[in-house]
Structure 1
Amino acid sequence: MTVSPIDLASLLCSRLCHDLLSPVGALSNGLELLADEKDPEMRQRCFELLEQSAKASADKLKFFRLAFGAAGGFGEQIAVGEARALVDALAGSNGRVSVNWMFGVDALGKPAVKTLLNLALIGLDALVRGGTLDIGAEVLDGSTEIVVRAAGQRIAFDPTIGQALEGKLASTELSSRTAPAAMVQQLAAAVGGSVQVHVTAESLVLGAVLPSN
């Protein structure tokens, strides 16, 4: 799969805007309600909703800044705790997904962290009825190995996302939904790595091996 950097960036921006539309829209609606509401209890409720929407918006922006962006505020090595905090915040807004972590290192290179975050995002999207998200990473023999396993009552996984992860999706079929997967595939390919996908009715396992340069 070959896609121009401009097209991929455009699709990633579309995905970001799609995910931010709901919390930002809730902020706008909350402000409208607050302007007309006189009852103290209802005004307090409006403030609580505004606070929740503002937090959700901030959590998503922080996540996408590192998952999609250049993440200029970070060095070449990023503490795994940073990635964990971003995923936990994103999953926390769902309320139906529990996240388990298994790290064998304290820090990972930026490409590995971006890969981990995007695989976690794909895993979260697949858990439409909730479930568990298991995330692990370790460095063995000079390569970073990342595994994300989503398990729940129902796994909603678009086959085109798997094709994009494995580099088998035609560029003409790329969309904002598959763009994060395409970026992961390009990140892995750039360092001579690979991405694997295994899906069943109740689980989705995503893996990546990224050799150190």
Structure 2
Amino acid sequence: MKSVDLASLLCSRLCHDLMSPVGALNNGIELLADETDPEMREKCLELLAESARASANKLKFFRLAFGAAGGFGEEVDTHEAQAAVEGLFGPERRIELGWAVSDDKLPKGAVKVLLNLALLAGDALVRGGRLDVGAERNGGDVELAVRAEGPRILLDPVLRETLADGAVDMVEPRAAAAWLAHNLITDAGGSIQLSDASSGALTIGARLPRS
């Protein structure tokens, strides 16, 4: 797949995820313009604030997960990554987040992989649950792991195959994160571990060798 194809996939994913909160912003503004009741205007403002916050959180996450993360240099502050994950999977998603990353900074590529794996695992928690995100350096290598556990876990077979084996044919926009994670890992000479589909929890691990 060409880099332009990947760019198109990532843009499609970003637009898809922003459509809902941006649409809510537009609806809220229209309602506010026509509403005269003070109580209803207050509710409109609450809707606008919530939608603006959701849009900002998604943009912050995708900037680190998909973008060049300009301004961070070769390593990224892991607290920024934690804030991005917490913003994306907030209380409204009914997902409890566990963060087990001891290093203050990690290589940019490792952070991008970690965020994309977290995105896949978090999206698989269709009825909420717990998402644990971990990373550590081991002899110069970086080991990454995410684990999703909840009442229903659904990782689409297409996403599973793309993450494990890459893409043979054209990748769908919903598989952009899986395709990007796979290629970041394999291009770095790393490896991917993925729990069996019949397992009660979803665990995704990756090892990135010292660059």
2:5 matches 1:18: no
* CA apart distance, 1:189: 1.3
* CA apart distance, 1:94: 3.3
Which runs of at least 4 in structure 1 moved beyond 6 Å after TM superposition? none
Per-residue CA distance 1:147-198 (angstroms, 9 max, x = gap): 00000000111011111112243133x1111111111111111210012211
* SS of corresponding position for 1:200: coil
Answer whether contact 1:154 1:201 (CA < 8 A) is retained: no
Answer whether contact 2:81 2:115 (CA < 8 A) is retained: yes
Residue aligning to 2:175: 178
After superposition, residues 30-69 of structure 1 pair within 5 angstroms as 30-69=28-67
2:158 matches 1:160: yes
Any gaps of 5 or more consecutive residues in structure 2?
none
CA RMSD of aligned residues (A): 1.2
Residue aligning to 1:194: 191
* CA apart distance, 1:108: 0.4
Separation in 1 of the partners of 2:91 and 2:99? 18
* CA apart distance, 1:139: 0.5
> Paired residues, what number?
210
Identity between Structure 1 and Structure 2 (%): 55
Answer whether contact 2:166 2:179 (CA < 8 A) is retained: no
Q: TM-score, normalised by structure 2?
A: 0.96
Amino acid in structure 1 at the alignment position of 2:35: E
Answer whether contact 2:159 2:175 (CA < 8 A) is retained: yes
* CA apart distance, 1:93: 5.4
Residue aligning to 1:120: 118
Any gaps of 5 or more consecutive residues in structure 1?
none
Deviates further, 101-110 or 25-34: 101-110
Residue aligning to 1:104: 102
Amino acid in structure 2 at the alignment position of 1:202: G
Answer whether contact 1:146 1:208 (CA < 8 A) is retained: yes
Per-residue CA distance 1:13-56 (angstroms, 9 max, x = gap): 10000000000000000011101100001001100110000000
Answer whether contact 2:96 2:131 (CA < 8 A) is retained: yes
